[in-house]
Chain A
Amino acid sequence: MRALLAILLALAASHALAHKPSDSYLAIRVEGASLAGQWDIALRDLDFAIGLDDSGDGEITWGEVKAHHTDIAAYALARLKLRSDGADCPARATGFLVDDHSDGTYSVMRFAATCPGEVTTLEIGYSLFADLDPQHKGLLRLEHGAGTRTAIFGPERPTQSFELARISALTQFLDYGREGVWHIWIGFDHILFLLSLLLPAVLALAGGRWEAIDRFPPAFWDVFKIVTSFTVAHSITLSLAALGVVSLPSRLVESGIATSVVLAALNNVFPLVHGRRWMVAFAFGLIHGFGFASVLKDLGLPQGALLIALVGFNLGVEVGQLAIVSAFLPVAYWLRASWFYRRLVFIGGSLAITAVAGIWLIERAFNLKIISA
């Protein structure tokens, strides 16, 4: 009869294992000689290994987990061997949290380890649950500098080595510089703000009408003043915010940036400020700096190379900006006297920018979504 039951199960078998298997998530960040880690292990698995459900009611509470934190650390860390160039890097738990993963709640253990010297080759030996569940896998995410690697540990591959390329300051500087260029390039709101201020640079206000200017140098110096003051202003706030000296709520910053675009573009159609547009650039540049800072923060600031990242990112932004300006100015100067430039590009373009930025403003201020991708 047992065989019959077997065929019953057999014929349903390919369908039956419908559950996510047991995995743990191990994240390790290498900084010089020290390792900072986070290890997410399913409570179910820990309960099977060391017993968490002390009350025996089939429910694991936070109190029960807390009572076992020492056991969890001892059990797990004994099954994780970290070695740098042949020497042990002893690890200790630094904090405990929990997290909800798609298949249940996990214990989150943060840990730190110190190696004898700067880590160039990290060897990781992983044997968590290897004796209890050979199907268990450890999913590693290893971060070093701006690079991230992943690996899968299991009984077939319990020990793996990772060569960590030495990240030079120059590489880091260039990485962040590239991010800065990329950000200004895809940051339509910054581009539109700058363009709104630059559009009138090849024109002069005479008796309430915009006329084409007749010499290039004034246009160039006008643009130079605007770009420089915008740069100085946003560098100030970018640095202050990135270093954590000042912080503003992102909704305020985002709305402020949208407002700056609206006002700058409207000023072209209904001129209020003309001669001192560099001051406008400076004032609103302060707000844009906060916007850049939030991007930089999301990229993650390397603790060891804060200044390099900050300067690299900022210079990247300037390079991107200069590229836009140097593409814009000659063309604008060339077309400045035409109807096309004065009516269509200058007035029409400014109105279009006002409209787009107005929608951003409403979206950002009220947390709405009007233009959806």
Chain B
Amino acid sequence: MSRRATAIGITRTSIIGTFTEIACGLALASLAAAVQAAPYVPKDDATVLERLPVRPGDPVARELRRLRAELARDPQNLGTALRLAERYYELAGAEGDPRYIGYAQAGLRPWWELRDPPLEARVMRAILKQSIHDFSAAMQDLDVAVREDPKNALAWSWRAAIHMVQADYAAARADCEALEPIESELGVVGCTAYLDGTTGKAAAAHRALSAALARSGDISPEMRLWVLTRLAEMSLRQGDVKQAEEHFRAALALNVRDQFLLAAYADFLLDQGRPAEVIALLRDWVRSDILLLRLALAEKALDAPAAKEHIEALRSRFDAAALRGDKLHQQEEARFNLYLLGQKEKALALARENWKLQREPRDARMLLEAALAMNDPAAGKDALEWLERSGHEDPGLRRTAEKLKALRR
């Protein structure tokens, strides 16, 4: 017999027939308790309950400890607070864990609420704010920062990044241009190529970025990884699967932990119908919501037994986020609802909500696919308009858009 929640929120064993489930299931399921805890006492002391992402003896951990101790002695030391925030920000990117954003923010507490903080504190504050998707507050700080210091490459870069997320391409181009006199060649080309690669000039962007990479000489593995991931995307937009794969493999060979690369490569493999490789790639990344989503998609495609458990885990994480009032992962949640739960209507609602905040190609793709699943071209209107306006080339995205437009006729 199945378990359902009653109207007062407590699960009860159904002693009724299956018929009743149809009658009451709908009314009651929505009230299912989000956290159904079953606490226990572990069997013996040696039971490992948790593995820390960063070992205490690790050099990164040691540096963080040192900086934290320094800051504890002198909380008003902006230099230490900024260094600590940078380290944590990098860690947040590598591990995908928003805790580190909070840790960075805690270090900046003396400057966090100031109306006129020092420039560097202002820029770091903007970086942290945008990473929890408070784009307007971040942009306010960046506006002030570039006015105060027009040669602040960091601030211009972040403006470009946020304008790209908001699909404000004219503003993003202005930001890239402002970088020209103050940034390295790879930085400037990277900015422009990212913009061009998204707005219908993928071939030229690919050429320019490859050339800049070849000329740049000795750069950090993180930078190389970023460039290679972008090149892979540009190849895909031109329909060159083979070249894209080469770029992805070169990026993976750098052995840098980067969730964005793993997510992008997993999406590539899923699109290419190679789910088995996704499982091998992401087996150890179940903690990351976005990577677990891709893992579950691959497992579902292969009818793998682990799919069920992973879908449940994702469901409870999205439920927990809803409980918290988070809207950080609506695009992922839409994909989860559409492809793993088959809840098209909810997927479309989430994809539309997400589009209000984020307008990158993958957000457009989600909106188009959800609208297509619901046979609702009007709902995908915004993404269709974006496709027209941006001139974005991705063949898969364009095919979906054509199918959606065909429904209208």
Contact = CB atoms under 8 A, between A and B. Distances in A.
Given A1-B184, A16-B96, A135 B45 contact: no
A16 B93 contact: yes
A47 B292 CA distance: 25
A99 B40 contact: yes
Contact of A146 (B8, B19, B291): B8
B104 to A, nearest CB: 10
B49 A135 contact: no
A12 B8 contact: no
B57 A56 contact: yes
Contacts of A15: 259-260, 263, 290
Nearest to A107: B49
Interface string B370-404: 00000000000000000000000000000000000
Contact of A187 (B15, B22, B109, B263): B15
A333 B39 CA distance: 56
A303 interface: no
Contacts of B179: 3
B133 to A, nearest CB: 7
Contact of A291 (B15, B190, B360): B15
Nearest to A65: B49
A188 B17 contact: yes
A291 B16 CA distance: 10
Interface residues of B, number: 112
A20 B93 contact: no
A356 B190 CA distance: 69
Nearest to A11: B161
Contacts of B103: 48, 132-133
A59 B47 CA distance: 10
B21 interface: yes
Contacts of B112: 134
A11 B164 contact: yes
Interface stretch (A76-84, A293-301, A312-320): A293-301
B23 to A, nearest CB: 7
A346 interface: no
Given A3-B183, A19-B95, A373-B18, A105 B49 contact: yes
Interface stretch (A21-29, A85-93, A195-203, A226-234): A21-29
* Contact residues of B: prevailing secondary structure: helix
Most buried by B among A4, A38, A47, A61: A4
Nearest to B261: A12
B37 interface: yes
Contact of A45 (B90, B99, B187): B99
A158 B154 CA distance: 34
A364 B223 CA distance: 61
Interface of A is mostly: mixed
Interface in B1-48: 1-2, 6, 8-13, 15-25, 35, 37-42, 44-48
Nearest to A3: B153
Interface string B322-348: 011110110010000000000000000
A219 interface: no
A56 B44 CA distance: 19
A102 B320 contact: yes
Interface string B74-94: 000000000000000110110
Given A60-B52, A108-B37, A139-B323, A18 B288 contact: yes
Determine which residue in A13, A295, A298 has the highest number of CB atoms from chain B within 10 A of its CB, and name it. Answer: A13
B158 interface: yes
B52 A58 contact: yes
Given A40-B37, A43-B49, A4 B184 contact: yes
Given A14-B165, A17-B98, A53 B52 contact: yes
A186 B24 contact: yes
Most buried by B among A16, A25, A188, A257: A16
Interface stretch (B124-132, B199-207, B235-243): B124-132
B9 A148 contact: yes
Nearest to A138: B324
A280 B379 CA distance: 61
B307 interface: no
Contacts of A134: 102, 105-106, 109, 112
| Residue among A18, A65, A253, A364 with max Cβ neighbours from chain B (10 Å) | A18
10 contacts: A5-B220, A12-B258, A13-B93, A14-B165, A18-B329, A19-B289, A40-B39, A59-B52, A102-B317, A250-B15
